Amino acid sequence: MNGVRKILGRLYAFYFLLYFVVLMLILLIPLYCCWLFREPTRTRGFITLGRIWMFLFMPLVGCPIRRRGTEHFQPGQTYVIACNHNSFADILVATSMTPGINKTLAKKSMGSIPIFGPIYRLGAILVDRQDEESRRQSYIKMKTTLDLGIHMLLYPEGTRNRTTEPLKPFYDGAFSLAIDSQVPIVPAILFNTRKIIPAGGFYAEPHKVTFDFLPPIDTKGMTRDDIPALKEKVFNIMRDHYVKGPQ
């Protein structure tokens, strides 16, 4: 990376962060007011405001979003969405652009950040992955969330993919949840978010994002014995679609 590009990338990263924070502060009171309501109204309010936030944010930082495959979401049906994870930008795009209302699973430490933490907790079920009881409670909360008609948006790679492979190996959680709750699982692929915020350093670049939802996979009648096969099937579908690239 040449010096001029590095400088421009850092300036853009500063603009990206500044504009994000400014919009957050403008929407702060309405977002905080979501805590006055019970679920699922609380999450519906958060997602509505989040979509406004991203509608004002992503295009004006040079990152327009193209969304495809929303026809796979049937009215009245709740889903587990399995999405790839390459960048911090994934959360901004996936949470706001997934049809219907959704929650994700996130690190408990993020919920303690001043000002931002309460907003983060609106859209996420928090978990301390080092604590067995916290993991157990988060799983119960995810099942309850699905029962309320709220999709669970999960990243089966666990953390951002910093490798050269299309996907990291998947954990079982998303597939256990889908099978235990007997809801379909929707494979979803984000393209180009890694180009916006690459791993490591204070640097960013504008880029168009494509968010694809693939046909859902039914889990009715499956048991936990089917987790390995389901996980492999979803992994192969997502990997093959990612390798093809946005069409």
Tens digit of pLDDT for each residue in 167-220? 999 999 999 999 999 999 999 999 999 999 987 789 999 999 999 999 999 999
- Please report, rounded to a whole number, the percentage of residues in the chain having pLDDT higher than 70: 100
Average pLDDT over residues 137-150: 97
| Each residue's pLDDT tens digit, 55-68 | 999 999 999 999 99
The predicted structure's pLDDT at residue 199: 78
Residues ≥6 apart with Cβ < 8 Å to 23:
53, 56, 57
Residue 37: which region, alpha, beta or left (left: phi > 0; alpha: psi -120 to 50)? Answer: beta
| Each residue's pLDDT tens digit, 118-128 | 999 999 999 99
Domain ranges of the chain: 3-244
The H-or-E segment that residue 211 falls in is strand 209-213
Residue 54 structure tokens:
């991203």
In 34-124, where does DSSP find H-type helix?
A: 41-57, 89-97, 116-122
- DSSP strand pairing (80-83 vs 185-191): parallel
Q: How far apart are CA 219 and CA 115, in angstroms?
A: 39
What is the total residue count of the chain? 247
The predicted structure's pLDDT at residue 201: 82
- DSSP strand pairing (185-191 vs 209-213): antiparallel
Residue 25 structure tokens:
């502060």
The predicted structure's pLDDT at residue 69: 98
The predicted structure's pLDDT at residue 1: 62
Q: How far apart are CA 173 and CA 155, in angstroms?
A: 9
Residue 204 structure tokens:
């960013």
Average pLDDT over residues 18-34: 97
> What's the whole-model pTM score?
0.94
The mean predicted confidence, pLDDT, of the chain is 96
With CA atoms as reference, report the closest residue to 53 among 34, 88, 84, 25: 25
Among 3.20.20.450, 3.40.1130.10, 3.40.605.10, 3.50.50.60, name the CATH number for the domain at 3-244.
3.40.1130.10
Residue 218 structure tokens:
């039914």
Q: How far apart are CA 92 and CA 169, in angstroms?
A: 23
CA 233 → CA 129, 151, 229, distances in Å? 26, 21, 6
Amino acid letter at 121? R
Residue 155 structure tokens:
């990243």
DSSP state of 72: G
